[in-house]
Amino acid sequence: MSACTATLLIASCSRPVGSSTFVAIEHEISPEPARVGPATITLKLTDSAAKPITGAYVAIEGDMSHPGMSPRFAEAKETDPGRYEARLEFPMAGDWVILLHVTLSDGKKLERQFDVRGVRPN
């Protein structure tokens, strides 16, 4: 499986999150480059000590960069400690923005986003 890996923001920001929360999120998407149809998004959540963050609830939202397209939603399941996986459908080629709505086991909430550029047509 070819995949891209990226690390999202290290310190949490902007949204209602405890100021001391520290979460690193790595993401992979498969297939890479993404194509129209289902894709698998894998997320790895770790804390400041690089320990896996378990028991989080991760909701995924995929938006196109163009108005008028409805967002796609998915829930990620924890497959290994700190590792979360979700299937998300890309119904149209183009640029997508993936929003992650994360609720940690202590109830704290985070939001992150990353781009999936140039989803190819089939």
Partner 1 sequence: MRVPGLGSLFRWRYARPLLQAPLLVLSVVMILHGLFGPSLAPKNLATTLSWLHFRGVLVLVLLCAGNFFCLACPFMLVRQWARRLFKPRFTWPRALRNKWLSVGLFVLILFTYELFDLWSSPWWTAWLIMAYFLSVLVVDGFFKHASFCKFVCPIGQFNFVASTLSPFEVKVREQDVCTRCHTKDCIRGRREPVSDLVTIRGCELALFQPSKVGNMDCTFCLDCVHACPHDNIGILSRLPASELMADPLRSGIGYFSRRKDIAALALVFTLGALLNAFGMVSPVYAVERWIARLLHASHEAPVLGVIFAFFLIVEPLLLLGLAAWLTRTWVGGANGKSTRALLPLAVRYTYGLVPLGFGMWLAHYCFHFLTGLYTLIPVTQNAIASLGRPWLGEPRWTLTGLPANVVQVIEIGFLLLGFAGSLVVTYGLAEDDSPDRPLRAFLPWAAVCLVLWCASMWLMFQPMEMRATLMSG
Binding site for partner 1 (CB under 8 A): 33, 36, 61, 63-71, 73, 92-95, 97, 117-118, 121-122
* Long-range CB contact pairs, 113-118, < 8 A, 24+: 113/8, 114/6, 114/8, 114/27, 116/29, 116/34, 116/62, 116/90, 118/33, 118/93, 118/94
In the complex with partner 1, the residue whose CB is nearer, 50 or 66, is 66
Cβ 69 to partner 1 shortest distance, Å: 6
CA 17 – CA 118 distance, rounded (Å): 31
In the complex with partner 1, the residue whose CB is nearer, 77 or 120, is 120
Cβ 61 to partner 1 shortest distance, Å: 8
Cβ 100 to partner 1 shortest distance, Å: 14
94, two tokens: 């183009």
In the complex with partner 1, the residue whose CB is nearer, 84 or 96, is 96
